[in-house]
Amino acid sequence: MGPKRLKYILVYSLLFFLCSWNILAEGVQEESEAMIRIEDSLGRSVVFTSPPERIVMAGRAVIMLADALYLFPGVEERVVAVGQTNQGRGDFFPVLDPGAQAKVRLGRSAGPEEILAQNPDLILLKSYMRDSIGMPLETAGASVVYLDLETPEQFNRDIRILGELLKQEARAEELIELFGDRQASIENSVAGRERKETLLLSYSANSEGYSFSIPPRGWIQSTQVELAGGEPVWLGGTLSPGWNRVEFEQIAAWDPEAIVVLSYRQEASDAIELIRGEPLWRELRAVKKGELYAMPGDFYSWGQPDPRWILGAEWIAHALHPEAFDSPFEERISAFFEDFYAIDRERFERLIEPRLTGDLF
């Protein structure tokens, strides 16, 4: 082999090596760019090689997960299975997802085997479900992401997590801005006004009777009252982490200026009728002044950690300080469903408006 030929072979070999290296480097870079690394609500780092295409929502409180996930367009094409989304007053999920009938519906007690049978590449769970369901799924190698979705701050963080998972970071920031604008509007409207002593009660009834409960500090229901310009009379004492049952004697001792009643499985208006029919209750200031209100809802009550929490806060502000608002509250309802879920006026009037209950002024 002559020197000249050897030189050409070496040059071509070098060029081939460089081209191969560039192709390999580009492939590694593309794979790196496609990788998604998120930190969920429990501070766990979870890595995905690409945006998840088979999403399962399971466990308890699935309505919070579903209603947060479906704030992002196009997710209906990725969701393959979803847990229970009916609190007893109807199911909002078919409104969110036209293909809901084709989804696998998991029971509230669905175990790891049933969940893994859906071949998910992302499983969304509420954070408190880790010990009961999450750990076995993690041990089996499933990609599990936990969300809190309990306070306004957690909503913002968890919406960003979903935005990263779905590669819809811009939509996440848009949603956070929407929540922020509505929250700022409430705060500006009630600023400088005297805070009204307010009691929020959760009503529950069964064949044996009924009961009322109050939420602890930090829960979304307490935050709603504070944000709306109310003074939560029940937060002065020691409360357990969950709902705290309260008797009439304590309610009478507080004797608040306004009472807001919510209910998840029954109609809050049932509790209002019950209260107005009781002689002892009629002696309370709130009842005498006509400031006894039923928290509205549609498929779900607005008094819970769901994207509707901001609607509930706006409604309480309108109830406690009606003089602070010029426009009718009803306009805020349809605007909420259009801004957050792209449900236009026609669909709102057909699917959601007939479901509205509570004191809508």
Q: Compute mean pLDDT per 10 residues along the chain, 361 residues long, and list them.
A: 47 40 43 77 96 96 97 97 94 96 93 97 97 97 97 97 97 98 97 97 89 96 97 91 95 98 93 95 97 97 97 97 90 96 97 94 73
Q: pTM of the full predicted structure?
A: 0.89
3-state SS of 117-155 is CCCCCEEEEEHHHHHHHHHHHHHCCCCEEEECCCCHHHH
Q: What is the DSSP string of 192-246?
A: TSPPEEEEEEEEEEETTEEEEEEPPTTSHHHHHHHHTTEEEGGGGS---SS-EEE
For residue 209, what pLDDT is reported?
86
Q: Could you tell me the two tokens for 91?
A: 């199911």
Contact present, 205 and 270 (Cβ < 8 Å): yes
Q: Could you tell me the two tokens for 178?
A: 């929407």
For residue 28, what pLDDT is reported?
42
Q: What is the DSSP string of 237-283?
A: S---SS-EEE-HHHHHHH--SEEEEE-SSS-HHHHHHHHHT-TTGGG
- In a 13 Å sphere around the CA of 1, the CA atoms on its Cβ side amount to 6
